[in-house]
Amino acid sequence: MTPLEEPGMVEDRFLKRLRKKARKGLRGWPIATIAFYGPNLHQATKTAVGIVPSENAEVEELRAWLDHMSA
């Protein structure tokens, strides 16, 4: 981030790129899913990631992270 960029500008650019990829749809395997959980829409206290290696396979890798600092 350059000194002239504001944090909101960087976030907007990131979201624009992410939406563009989402519009393209399924482009092959493996697929990863990311889920954020929290007490409201503005705070995530848990993140879970799952990886599915092929079309009819079960989730092969599943990891979760907890935010122990928010209480």
Per the confidence metrics, is the pTM higher than 0.95?
no
Longest Cα–Cα distance of the chain, Å, equals 48
- Each domain of the chain, given as residue ranges in start order, spans 7-66
pLDDT, tens digit (0-9, with 9 covering 90-100), for 13-65:
888 988 888 888 888 889 888 999 999 888 889 999 999 999 999 988 889 98
Strand partners, 50: 33, 62
- Confidence category of residue 1, pLDDT binned at 50, 70, 90: very low
- Confidence category of residue 6, pLDDT binned at 50, 70, 90: low
